[in-house]
Amino acid sequence: MSQLDAERRRVLAVLHRHGWNATSFQVLEPGFRYWFADDDASIAYVDTGRAWVAAGAPLTSPPRLPEVAEQFRLEARSQGRRLAFFGVEERLVQAVRWRSLLIGEQPEWDAESWPDTLRASGSLREQLRRARAKGVTVRTVDPTELAPGSHLRSKLETLVSSWLGRHEMPPMGFLVQVDPLTLLEEHRVHLAEQGGGVVGFLTAAPILARPGWLLQNLIRSPAAPNGTTELLVDHAMRDAVAESEEDASPMVTLGLAPLAGQVVPALRLARSAGSVLFDFEGLRAFKARLRPTRWRPIHLVYPPDQGVARTVLDVLEAFAREHLLSFGLRTLLRGPTIVVRLLAVLLVPWTVLLALTDSWHFPAPWVRWAWVTFDVVLAAALFRLSVRWSDRLSRIVVAAVGLDAVVTLGEVLVWNVPRLRGAADLIVSLVAVAAPSLAFVILWRARVRRRARPGGEAGAHRPGRSG
């Protein structure tokens, strides 16, 4: 494994003995730190500056889970850090008896029973038929075909970078970083092709301590016919059985469906409120459509002396790879759908304020009502864009907001500044200038990103990741 340094080689040795969790192989990806109790016990984690957030359960034998977890907790405390184990299965919850929070469910399949699943599902068989009828074929790629600089690797990197550039949120880290072409010697890469062109691919990571595979990255192009996704999964299931050297049927999973299942009310609210940025319900529905054998609950586990709210924030910072405020600002500047909608919502009270403002703030009464009318029309256009994006309407809105920023600046400098009566007037004037300028930047970036869509792939699914 040429890509691994000495420390990660040491972790790999532990993984072969104790990498039981579905996401355990992901700890070899870039960005993790490693703590070792000894040569037979390790934990991969990220340091947020305030907390150590571990990726899954400790890598050790089941009887040692409480001991190793407690040692890690003491080490974290000695460094002034809180602690959390994210994405763990039931056996750690039962072993340590710390506080836990259900964060979602993980679908699993017994790969040998996949043919039975297909026989019982006419809709799945139809999807496979559609893709095959359109000439889609799937094969497992030899790692040598994906050597750096190769033509095929360049194609796959283009698909990935296109998706990253258009995603509603900035790229994240921890267990959701999109880096499907690392450690190819250990992964399986399944490629969907049509007429000599690549229309999708899927990477599978091994679960080393038991026969199983995590279907980790599933990415398709806009040209992919219906059924391409199902055809990739079908091929991965059959490949898992063919590669198995055990008597038991290999387990295959698509990883965590975040916030799925009977989560607490606060997480159900987050699931609904965050749907604009991430389609939690759609992700679970996609996985359920493939008829899993079972759904396994996945938890967040943390020491009993920590609060749940602070622990959840620690985990979010681990995914964001920075302070949440900075991540929020970067999300804002990307101009996703939720931000366009927020601009429309904020424009409503601002318009009401303009309508009620004393006339002396404007050169003439008709100017005030012209601004009110303009903002009403602009708010309606922004709401329309947040529901259904239109390239033509977005071009008009960006131009209008840019003109708004220029005219407002001129009006404030020429008319309002000489007539300022105090701090309140100054604040209103600054907001009047800053708001359209910031809105112009956000909308312009949103338009650029939306216009990039036709040349990139239609979507990417991160089944093995939490987000």
Q: Is the four-CA dihedral 388, 393, 399, 400 of positive or negative sign? A: negative
Residues of the chain with pLDDT under 50: 1-3, 454-467
Q: Are 222 and 457 in contact (CB under 8 A)?
A: yes
**Prediction pTM value:** 0.76
Q: Which helix (H) or strand (E) holds 104?
A: strand 99-110
- Going by C-alpha positions, the residue among 89, 372, 351 that lies closest to residue 210 is 89
Q: How many of the other CB atoms lie within 10 Å of CB of 206?
A: 21
- Dump pLDDT digits (tens) for 413-449: 998 888 888 888 888 889 889 989 988 988 887 787 7
User: First-to-last CA distance in the chain?
Assistant: 28
Tokens of 31: 């960005």
**Residue 228: strand, helix, or coil:** helix
**Pairwise CA distance, residues 259 & 280, whole Å:** 7
- Going by C-alpha positions, the residue among 127, 175, 467, 87 that lies closest to residue 291 is 127
Query: On the CB side of 33, how many CA atoms lie within 13 Å of its CA?
Result: 13
Q: Please report, to the nearest 10 degrees, the dihedral formed by the alpha carbons of residues 158, 160, 166, 170 taken in order.
A: -130
Per-residue pLDDT, 163: 63
**Pairwise CA distance, residues 125 & 117, whole Å:** 10
DSSP state of 363: S
Q: Please report, to the nearest 10 degrees, the dihedral formed by the alpha carbons of residues 344, 457, 214, 11 taken in order.
A: -90
Q: How many of the other CB atoms lie within 10 Å of CB of 247?
A: 6
DSSP string, 41-58: EEEEEEE-SSEEEEESS-
- Going by C-alpha positions, the residue among 360, 369, 297 that lies closest to residue 93 is 297
- Dump pLDDT digits (tens) for 190-203: 999 999 889 989 99
Tokens of 145: 């075909």
Per-residue pLDDT, 426: 87
**Pairwise CA distance, residues 293 & 108, whole Å:** 6
**Pairwise CA distance, residues 293 & 284, whole Å:** 14
According to DSSP, the β-strands at 188-194 and 197-206 are: antiparallel
The C-alpha angle with vertex 349 and arms to 347 and 350, in degrees rounded to 5, equals 60
Tokens of 155: 């194609």
